[in-house]
């Protein structure tokens, strides 16, 4: 595995920033295309795609679908989020009494089994529609149909949990895990080999910028919820990583350079708060990287999921 360092990232960023960004995007797309080829070769009809927060699951699902269609097969995506239970009174709760929306018990498991079973058997079903504004399921359903050779991609944090497909034939099902699996080190010969930016730190920077750009969420609120996000991942995602047939590393080596300007500003907002020390560590890290203008992004880049389209 490549060892990414501040030095080799900055060297590439200084030499040809736009070309570096393009190449990073192309490399990831090629990785997903290779995964798609393997899935098609194995004749998989239902692909469950999961990963922790800010891994780029949504974009990866679209790249996967586009690649499958380029190979002559229809591809459609489904979100497990549409299978949330109908009423709040049915939801599990955390120890403090709040609703546990990240528990698999917050999903309508019998309905998941029914819909996915029908898709595998008859290639059509009626999917539920969930209204996140009212946190309730709509009364109407969404008709879903796919061709005989088509592939359905299901995205959601519980995709690798065996309970999702417990009563379904395993031969036509594949599981894909996507996450940031690389780290960035201070230098090539660090004796302690301690990452300057570890996997969770890289994902937190992604989420920090995405939440501000697309969810109008402050840096403070993102940090405030981060602990519970990690708790949910440790409970609901990481124990099932070994169930994946294919693992994808969504890290783009150019991303610290692209995120740096917005991340620095957002992390500065946390001075004087209980998150100041953690934010300072991340800020000092991102300050080490050459800045690349986000307009260098190509429209098909996974990083647009966090930074926006150029």
**Residue 122: pLDDT over 70:** yes
Closest C-alpha among 66, 93, 90, 87 to residue 77? 66
Residue-level pLDDT at 102: 86
- Confidence tier at 9 by pLDDT (50, 70, 90): very high
Across the chain, what does the average pLDDT equal?
94
Q: What is the pLDDT of residues 261-305, one digit of tens each?
A: 999 999 999 999 999 999 999 999 999 999 999 999 999 999 999
- Confidence tier at 97 by pLDDT (50, 70, 90): confident
Cα-trace Rg, the chain: 20
- Confidence tier at 192 by pLDDT (50, 70, 90): low
Assign 2 to helix, strand or coil.
coil
Residue-level pLDDT at 189: 61
CB 55 within 8 A of CB 155: no
Average pLDDT over residues 106-119: 95
Average pLDDT over residues 201-215: 96
Residue-level pLDDT at 204: 98
Sign of the CA dihedral 195, 287, 299, 52?
A: positive
**What CATH architecture applies to the domain 4-305?**
3-Layer(aba) Sandwich (3.40)
**Residue 191: pLDDT over 60:** no
Residue-level pLDDT at 133: 78
Average pLDDT over residues 145-174: 94
Q: What is the pLDDT of residues 72-93, one digit of tens each?
A: 999 999 999 999 998 888 888 8
CB 250 within 8 A of CB 302: yes
Strands (E), the chain: 4-5, 46-50, 75-79, 124-127, 130-131, 136-137, 142-145, 151-155, 173-179, 184-185, 195-197, 246-249
- Confidence tier at 127 by pLDDT (50, 70, 90): very high
Q: In this structure, what token pair is assigned to residue 294?
A: 């986000």
**Residue 25: pLDDT over 60:** yes
> Which run of H or E residues covers position 281?
helix 276-286
Residue-level pLDDT at 136: 84
DSSP letter at 84? Answer: B
Q: In this structure, what token pair is assigned to residue 220?
A: 């403070």
Average pLDDT over residues 191-220: 92
């Amino acid at each position: 595995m490549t060892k990414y360092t501040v030095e080799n990232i900055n060297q590439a960023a200084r030499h040809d920033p736009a070309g570096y960004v393009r190449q990073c995007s192309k490399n990831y797309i090629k990785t997903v295309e290779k995964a798609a080829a393997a899935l098609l070769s194995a004749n998989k009809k239902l692909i469950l795609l999961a990963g922790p927060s800010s891994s780029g699951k949504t974009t990866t699902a679209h790249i996967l679908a586009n690649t499958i269609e380029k190979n002559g097969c229809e591809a459609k995506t489904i979100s497990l989020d549409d299978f949330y239970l109908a009423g709040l009174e049915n939801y599990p709760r955390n120890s403090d009494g709040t609703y546990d929306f990240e528990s698999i018990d917050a999903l309508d498991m019998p309905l998941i089994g029914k819909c996915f079973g029908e898709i595998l058997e008859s290639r059509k079903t009626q999917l539920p529609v969930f209204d996140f504004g009212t946190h309730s399921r709509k009364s109407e359903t969404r008709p879903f149909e796919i061709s005989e050779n088509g592939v359905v991609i299901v995205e959601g944090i519980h995709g690798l949990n065996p309970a999702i497909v417990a009563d379904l034939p395993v031969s036509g099902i594949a599981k894909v895990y996507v996450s940031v699996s690389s780290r960035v080190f201070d230098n090539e010969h660090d004796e302690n080999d301690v990452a300057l930016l570890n996997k969770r730190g890289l994902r937190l920077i992604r989420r920090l910028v995405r939440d501000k750009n697309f969810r109008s969420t402050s840096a403070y609120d993102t940090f405030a919820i981060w602990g519970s996000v990690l708790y949910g991942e440790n409970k609901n995602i990481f124990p099932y990583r070994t169930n994946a047939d294919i693992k994808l590393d969504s890290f783009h080596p150019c991303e610290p350079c692209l995120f740096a300007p917005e991340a620095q500003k957002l992390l500065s907002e946390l001075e004087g708060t209980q998150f100041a020390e953690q934010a300072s560590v991340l800020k000092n890290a991102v300050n080490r990287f050459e800045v690349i203008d986000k307009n260098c992004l190509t429209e098909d880049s996974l990083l647009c999921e966090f930074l926006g389209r150029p």
